[in-house]
Homo-oligomer: A and B are copies of this chain.
Amino acid sequence: LTKRATITDVASKAGVSIKTVSRVINREPNVRDSVRERVLAAADELGYAPSLSARALAGTRSYVLALMFDNPSLAYVAEIQLGALQRCRELGYHLIVDPIDSAALDRESLEAALAAARPDGIILTPPLCDNALALEAIEAAGLVHVRIAPSGDLARGPYVRTDDRAAAKEMTLKLIDMGHETVAFVRGHRAHGAAAARFDGYADALKARGLKLDKTLVAQGDFGFDSGAACGEALLKRPKPPTAIFAANDDMARGVLAAAERLGLAVPEDLSVAGFDDTPAARTVWPPLTTVRQPIRDLAAAAVEIAVALASQSGDVEPSRTLDTEIVMRASTAPRSSRG
């Protein structure tokens, strides 16, 4: 491994002082264009890349962002990571990932985790982003933090999210407009903010079409596959079963699919099933699930952008953003048939 070029190498090659190189690298003002170009050329030729360690040691920033999560969904976390990582690279930042055991969460271990890598900012995924203890510790440490898809308390600080309520409304409307008069809903975990928003969207849609909310058509799940199966079975065993079931996430929708199968119902001929999230499993299950796709990577990338901007205090960024979702129609839904 050949030794890496340093700021001194670049400076002498460009015939300037290291401070000038520093200015150029950090996009600071007060450098003549001609000098700037010369420095840039020298840096490029030498393959110069500033040393993170030296920068962190000398300066106030660490050029590190931490992604903290306790999300049980591996697929979700993996997508978040990918999106965050990519934008971090583009911005010259490093990302450390920090799985948190929220069951054993205490102030001390949190502070230890924060102290370990002195990040410039923290990205929080749900449901950790709604954890009071975590938020308090981070705020007390005075660290920049950006929440991804927080449940509520939007005023508390920067966040990025999608409009789950609007998306759930749109999906429900699609089902109704396919001719399904009875669209049942399987709610998500009570503690999870997205669960409430998605249910509200379902209710919005019924209202918009002049249908009234039938509480016996709403089952309480917990976002897990098993709860979806149980809720699905309960709903389908009713005297007048629904012809469409909209579950608040894909895992529960897969559970509904399993229940339908056990009861000998054909999907989508006898029953339409829709999910939410567009997890990888939504595509591989049979029939493939109609669902709502969230731009998970984009959410993470946006969170990184905001965190970096906030940490470097570079001008004013919009500290929060709401991104669009997309409905993905697949084979698990169909217009209501005469059989249904």
Check A258 against B280 for contact (C-beta < 8 Å). no
A30-38, A49-57, A126-134, A172-180 - the one binding chain B: A49-57
Q: Which residue on chain B has the smallest CB distance to residue A79?
A: B74
Which B residues are CB-close (under 8 A) to A1?
141-143
Nearest 10 CB-CB pairings of A with B: A74-B78, A53-B56, A225-B284, A53-B57, A53-B53, A1-B142, A258-B286, A74-B75, A1-B141, A54-B57
Contact of A51 among B57, B78, B225, B281 (CB under 8 A): B57
Tell me whether A97 is interfacial, beta carbon within 8 Å: yes
Min CB–CB distance A324 → chain B (angstroms): 23
- Mark out the residues of chain A between 69 and 108 whose CB falls within 8 Å of any chain B CB in the assembled complex: 74-75, 77-79, 81-82, 85, 89, 94-99
Q: Which residues of A are in contact with B by a Cβ distance under 8 Å?
A: 1, 4, 47, 49, 51-54, 56-57, 62, 74-75, 77-79, 81-82, 85, 89, 94-99, 115-118, 141-143, 225-226, 229, 251, 254-255, 258, 261-262, 280-281, 284, 286
Which B residues are CB-close (under 8 A) to A251?
284
Check A96 against B95 for contact (C-beta < 8 Å). yes
Q: Which residue on chain B has the smallest CB distance to residue A56?
A: B53
Contact of A117 among B47, B52, B97, B286 (CB under 8 A): B52
Question: What is the bound-complex CA distance between A329 and B189, given in angstroms?
Answer: 30
Question: What is the bound-complex CA distance between A337 and B6, given in angstroms?
Answer: 73
Check B115 against A49 for contact (C-beta < 8 Å). yes
Q: Which residue on chain B has the smallest CB distance to residue A78?
A: B74
Which B residues are CB-close (under 8 A) to A142?
1
Contact of A280 among B4, B74, B89, B99 (CB under 8 A): B74
Q: A74-B79, A281-B284 are in contact. List 17 more A-B contacts (CB 8 A).
A: A4-B115, A49-B115, A51-B57, A52-B56, A52-B117, A53-B53, A53-B54, A53-B57, A74-B78, A81-B99, A85-B98, A94-B117, A95-B96, A96-B96, A97-B97, A251-B284, A281-B281
